[in-house]
Amino acid sequence: MQKEIFIKVQKWLTEKYDNDTIKAVKNLIRNDEKELFDCFYKNLEFGTGGLRGIMGAGTNRVNKYTIGAATQGLCNYISKTILTNNQLNVAIAYDCRNNSMYFAQITADIFSANGFHVYLFESLRPTPELSFAVREYNCQSGVVITASHNSKEYNGYKVYWNDGAQVTHPHDKNIIEEVNKITDVSQIKFEGNKNDITLLGEKFDKKYLNKITELSLSPKIIKKHSDFKIVYTPIHGTGVKLVPEILKKFGFTNIYNVPEQDVTDGNFPTVISPNPENAEALQLALKKAKEVGAELVLATDPDGDRVGIAVRDLENELILLNGNQTASLLIYYLIKTRKGKNLLKGNEYIVKTIVTSEILFDIASSFNVNYYDTLTGFKYIAEIIRNKEGKELFIGGGEESYGYLAGEFVRDKDAVMASALIAEIAVWAKEQGKSMYELLIDLYVEYGFYKESLINIVRKGKSGADEIKQIMENFRNNAPKEIAGSKVIEIKDFLLQQSENLVTETIEPITLPQSNVIQFYTDDGSKITVRPSGTEPKIKFYISVKETLCCKEKFEERNKELSKKIQKITKSLDV
């Protein structure tokens, strides 16, 4: 074992650490040297959004002490940065994961020990409600204990700033510096002040849900189709109470649950992964929908900020939509309905991320609505909302990874809000004699048939991280001249912050922040993005292709052609 790791391990065997931790480390020493190495070979990185990792003992694991160091560093940064005689406030929420409540209480204790007043949710709540709480209580910061849709062994720590959005520059880097200064557990104030912790419950839920209800644009249509059949599953997570409640507040009366997945359980016993992007996670909901004849399936992830859906296709079979398709329908509905009600004043805008379908921009442009692109991660969408507040009006935004937002009172993706609006879109389409799927095809006829695919390559541990790094270096240093027989005409490198046009042989600067992302554009209209995940041990390949679509009757034929095109690109990239 390397000397540096040996010193770390010995430190975790001292009386500064609790007995359970010492016992766990000793067990690793005796039985699993490889795992011991992985637990201690580095410090769990406090990234630009917080922590995420496997739970367990060690510097490279999520536990009482890594959570404690993160919280103490955050406390120190806020106290240094926000110079005020007023009370400093912070809001804290947590999801359904194993140890989430425990970590949330530790976080609350440390904040209160550092003189903050803490607004702590009394039980698990969706992440977007935390964003709302930060704004409602004029908090300087917020924390959610969650690992989103990661598998059961993970947990995490997500940090928000005073606008209710996840932290961005310069706060992200500065917080990291303060966290890195916590080099010994004796620097962490674990003994909390219970008098400075206020619990939030149903009263605050009502305030949040009432605000979402104000976003409804078609209440009369919902009333007409109130018995529209919807199946909803929280996949064991935080949406279990609030999503059915907001659907009822919108006016829907025929909501079916999935009893096995209404059980709050951080082991996620009914799924391989609690990720609504994965078809497997929706199988029980789809089964229920077939039994009851539902027209819409909604499934939210454990922390309630992302939602996956299924709708009826042209053969009346249930089919899953991807994040790009759902975002397209949402943005089209929000703009189209606003226009029909004379609510477009000329200063509205939408936002998407660079890996999300370009059809969103085509839709916005057709209604003369402004549109903006930004880096992957909803914190960047929220940053644009913050910068344009009072100047332009945010209608909505989305990202391909199943995250959506409307309105400005929440500053993160919101599956509670999105679930209600998606159900509203479904009955709006039904009022026109269409299904959501037919509405989507109409968009393809009008704006072009965009088809996207996401390929994830998982590489765990240090060796995996090194391999992902090498893949990115290969693409950066040996960029392909053609992909699947189509010539590469433009390369955008967000790390170098430059866009190279290979046709005109010119280079333009990219004004977005640095990010380890490369995009290739080909002469047949395809876009390929290569990006290491910021939260999981994987590298992602986003593939987007486009063709014209003359009519609904040609949809299936064109769909197969685009699928073959994506397969050729995948083979060409050797992924």
Catalytic positions: 148
Q: Please report where in the chains the tokens 């994961």 appear, as a residue.
A: 97
Distance CA(449)–CA(176), nearest Å, equals 43
Report the sign of the C-alpha dihedral through residues 217, 223, 229, 235, in that order: positive
Nearest in space to 264 (alpha carbons), one of 239, 300, 231, 237: 237
Q: Helix (H, G, I), strand (E, B), or coil: what is residue 532?
A: strand
Q: Please report where in the chains the tokens 């959004």 appear, as a residue.
A: 49
Distance CA(378)–CA(420), nearest Å, equals 20
Q: Please report where in the chains the tokens 């939408």 appear, as a residue.
A: 350
Q: Helix (H, G, I), strand (E, B), or coil: what is residue 132?
A: helix
Contact call for residues 508 and 501 (beta carbons, < 8 A): yes
Q: Helix (H, G, I), strand (E, B), or coil: what is residue 458?
A: strand
Chain-centroid distance of CA 164 in Å reads 15
- Provide φ and ψ at 167, rounded to 5°: -65, 140
Residue 541 parent element (H or E)? strand 538-547
H-state helical runs in 53-126: 64-81, 100-113
Nearest in space to 350 (alpha carbons), one of 361, 358, 339: 361
- Cα end-to-end span (Å), the chain: 35
Where in 108-196 does DSSP place strands (E)?
A: 117-121, 141-145, 154-161
Pairing of strands 117-121, 197-200: parallel
Report which residue type is found at 400: E
Distance CA(262)–CA(355), nearest Å, equals 32
Contact call for residues 117 and 165 (beta carbons, < 8 A): no
Q: 3-state SS string over 397-409?
A: EEECCCEEEECCC
Contact call for residues 150 and 55 (beta carbons, < 8 A): no
Contact call for residues 465 and 537 (beta carbons, < 8 A): yes
